[in-house]
Amino acid sequence: MKITIVYDNCLARAGLKKGWGFSALIEAANTPLILFDTGNEGAALLDNMKQLGIDPAQIGRIVISHAHGDHTGGLSDILEVNSHARIYLPASISVRNTGRDVVAVSRPVNISETVVSTGELKGIEQSLAIKTDKGIVVVTGCSHPGVGEILDVASRYGTVYGIIGGFHGFSNFKRLNGLSLICPCHCTQHTSEIEAMFPEQYVACGAGLTLEI
């Protein structure tokens, strides 16, 4: 799989816009192009996509981790330029009938044969578990249900290889033992401690970062 960070609090590539929030483009085997979260602000999201050579009309699946504005802010702008993507929303988000293809996620759900949603954990947030040759890669928005809880659910689908996304206030660092890739993004409060404890596994996040796993 390949993941490109489109929107983040930090920059990994000059010229992109940074902003509070998170968005990532995921290319996984036998899966339509997935946009995971949409950042805080649509114009910056679309501008970063343009600079990264991403055509928003090509996105086939949009997954919103949770209802906070730093993950949903760009959604309406994306939907203006993409009328066909299937949208996976946590079931706690109520939507009017918009005529869009919307899946309300509560239990774990297969998005494709290689991408699974953890389901809406603790009534707030879903994360993705992506099957790769190296193991499961977890993509998470803010990790409000807890990084450990998310890793526990993801590990039902195989050995977890790595985790990418916002860790929020997560500080139970031993839960990261055994991972080969740790890429804390966006709202992660203890990034420097995580980097100090896992220097080999740590990857600095930022808009423009691309990882191929």
131 binds Zn ion per the rule CB under 5 A? no
Determine the interface stretch with Zn ion among 24-32, 101-109, 134-142, 201-209 (rule: CB under 5 A).
Answer: 134-142
Which CB sits closer to Zn ion, 8 or 70?
A: 70
- The span of 40-48, 55-63, 128-136, 179-187 binding Zn ion (CB under 5 A) equals 179-187
Minimum CB distance to Zn ion, residue 142 (Å): 3
Q: Pick the closer one to Zn ion by CB: 56 or 145.
A: 145
Of all residues in this chain, which one has the CB nearest to Zn ion in the complex?
Answer: 142
Q: Does 68 bind Zn ion (CB under 5 A)?
A: yes
Indicate the residue among 70 and 77 with the shorter CB distance to Zn ion: 70
Cβ neighbours, 10 Å, residue 9: 20
Nearest 5 degrees, angle CA 181-CA 185-CA 188? 105
Instruction: Tell me how far, at minimum, the Cβ of 104 lies from Zn ion, in Å.
Output: 19
- Give the one residue of 3, 187, 194, 205 binding Zn ion; rule: CB under 5 A: 187
Site string for Zn ion, 136-175 (x = CB under 5 A): ------x---------------------------------
- Start-to-end CA span in the chain (Å): 5
Q: Is residue 70 involved in binding Zn ion (CB under 5 A)? A: yes
When asked if residue 90 is in the footprint of Zn ion (CB under 5 A), the reply is: no
To Zn ion, the closest distance from the beta carbon of 166 in angstroms equals 5
What is the dihedral sign for C-alpha 66, 29, 210, 181?
A: positive
Q: Judged by CB under 5 A, how many residues of this single chain contact Zn ion?
A: 4
Residues contributing to the site for Zn ion (CB under 5 A): 68, 70, 142, 187
